[in-house]
Amino acid sequence: MKLLTTAFAFSLLLCTMQHGIARTISQEQNAKHLNKPMLPALLAFGDSIFDSGNNNQLQTMLRSDFLPYGEDFITHRPTGRFCNGRIPTDFIVSKLGIKELLPAYLSTNLSNEDLITGVSFASGGTGFDPITSQLAAAIPMTEQLEMFKKYREKVKGILGKRGATELLAQSAYLIVGGSNDLASPYFSSPLRSSRYDSSSYADFLLHSASSFIQELIQLGARKIGIVGIPPIGCVPSQRTLQGGFARGCASIQNEVAQIYNSRLTKKVEEIKKRHQNTTLVHLDIYAFLFDMIEHPTKYGFEVSYIGCCGTGLLEAALLCNPMTLTVCTNVSRYIFWDSFHPTEKAYSVLVNYIYENYFHLLVS
Tens-place pLDDT, residues 256-289: 999 999 999 999 999 999 999 999 999 999 999 9
Tens of pLDDT, residue by residue over 1-57, are 433 333 434 343 444 344 444 444 444 444 344 578 999 999 999 999 999 999 999
Q: How confident is the model at residue 323 (pLDDT cuts 50, 70, 90)?
A: confident
Q: Are 109 and 43 in contact (CB under 8 A)?
A: no
Arithmetic mean of pLDDT, 301-317: 96
Which own/partner pairs from 147-154 qualify as long-range (CB within 8 Å, at least 24 positions apart)?
147/105, 147/106, 147/121, 148/43, 148/45, 148/121, 148/216, 148/219, 149/219, 151/43, 151/105, 151/115, 151/119, 151/121, 152/219, 152/220, 154/115
pLDDT surpassing 90 at residue 322: no
In the predicted model, is pLDDT for residue 318 greater than 60? yes
pLDDT in tens, 175-229: 999 999 999 888 877 888 888 999 999 999 999 999 999 999 999 999 999 999 9
For residues 137-146, give the mean pLDDT: 98
Q: Domains along the chain?
A: 36-286+346-363 (3.40.50.1110)
For residue 234, pLDDT beyond 70: yes
Residue 175 sits at φ, ψ, to 5 deg, of -130, 135
Residue 97: per-residue pLDDT: 97
Nearest to 227, CA basis, from 87, 85, 335: 87
233-256: burial string, b at 16+ Cβ within 10 Å, e else: bbbbbbbbbbbeeebebbeebbeb
Q: Which pLDDT score, from 0 to 100, does residue 27 have?
A: 40
Report percent pLDDT > 70 for the chain: 90
With beta carbons less than 8 A apart as the criterion, state whether 301 and 333 touch: yes
CA-based torsion, 321, 251, 300, 52: positive or negative: negative
Write down the pLDDT at residue 6: 39
Q: What is the 3-state secondary structure (H, E, C) of the chain?
A: CHHHHHHHHHHHHHHHHHHHHHHHHHHHHHHHCCCCCCCCCEEEEECCCCCCCHHHHCCCCCCCCCCCCCCCCCCCCCCCCCCCCCCHHHHHHHHCCCCCCCCECCCCCCCHHHHHCCCECCCCCCCCCHHHHHHHCCCCHHHHHHHHHHHHHHHHHHHHHHHHHHHHHHCEEEEECCHHHHHHHHCCCHHHHCCCCHHHHHHHHHHHHHHHHHHHHHCCCCEEEEECCCCHHHCHHHHHHHCCCCCCCCHHHHHHHHHHHHHHHHHHHHHHHHCCCCEEEEECCHHHHHHHHHCHHHHCCCEEEEECECCCCCCCHHHCCCCCCCECCCHHHEEECCCCCECHHHHHHHHHHHHHHHHHHHHC
Do 133 and 177 contact (CB within 8 A), yes or no? no
By C-alpha distance, which of 43, 46, 42 is closest to 143? 46
The Cα–Cα gap between 109 and 245 comes to 47
Whole-number pLDDT of residue 355:
97
Instruction: Give the catalytic positions in this structure.
Output: 48, 338, 341
Average per-residue pLDDT for the chain: 91
Question: What is the reported pLDDT for 324?
Answer: 66
CA-angle at 164, arms to 151 and 354, nearest 5°: 75
Residues linked to residue 279 through DSSP beta bridges, in sequence order = 223
- Tell me what pLDDT residue 35 has: 74
- Whether residue 67 is predicted with pLDDT greater than 60 in this model: the reply is yes
The number of CA neighbours under 13 Å toward the Cβ of 190 is 1
CA atoms within 13 A on the CB side of 254: 17
